Amino acid sequence: MQNQIKCLDHGFVKLLNLSGPVNRIPDSSIDLLTDQITMEGFQANDIDPALTARISFNNFDKERSRELDLKLVEYLIKNKHNTPIEMIEIWLEMKLPIFLARQFVRHRTATINEVSARYSILPEEWYIPEIVGGKPTNGMKQGQEDNLSSLIKEHFQKELANVCKENYDAYTYYIEQGVAPEHARLFLHVNNYTHWLWKQDLHNLMHFLSLRLDSHAQIEARIYANAIYTLLSIYLPESMKLFDKYRRF
């Protein structure tokens, strides 16, 4: 199954793991070339919130039909009984522009570990918008409209690419001259790419998606949110149907 989606020009979202309260043995197969076991799927399931909720009645292990469990999950999501939904954890790997990462860290319910430009040299990759947005004409202070001439768009893209290249060359030059990376990185732009691991429980990730999939969110944020939504829809399809029904604003 697919577990990675390309985003923008150099970015991506990759689903690394899903974990729930039940220790399941994934389906496995033998790679005949390496003799190694390769795992398919993750240790989480749409019914996990229902299993968690049943501990309240001391019958966590009691077997019920999947249909009954999914009905309970719907009840939980519909009525905002959030703790059982939080029992599913999601691990994501993302490569994204710095300006977008700084928007996403506002979601303080996520645990993030990011590549450090104090220790590592960031790659020669920066985001150039395929469609350059113009200032909105509806009085809004944020957002964009497709209202620029082709000439302005083309000049913007070329000049941005040139400036990023010049400053990246200065960044690497001064590192070679002995300047500490934590100071040399000051040459970099907010459209340079960063790279991180992101862990969040399903309830809070649904909240993240409800905000970042909204039509008022920045287009680049919606692209990453849609990639996350698409990946979760593969592995937690019933949960994401309930997200669409009850949590997507």
Beta strand 11-19 with 4-7 is antiparallel
The residue type of 48 is: D
- Asked whether 161 and 167 are in contact (CB, 8 A), the reply is no
With b for 16 or more beta-carbon neighbours within 10 A and e for fewer, the 135-167 pattern comes to eeeeeeeeebeeebeeeebeeeeeebeeebeee
Number of other CB atoms surrounding residue 65 within 10 Å: 9
Which of the residues are catalytic? 212
Nearest Cα residue to 189 out of 165, 158, 157: 165
The residue type of 62 is: K
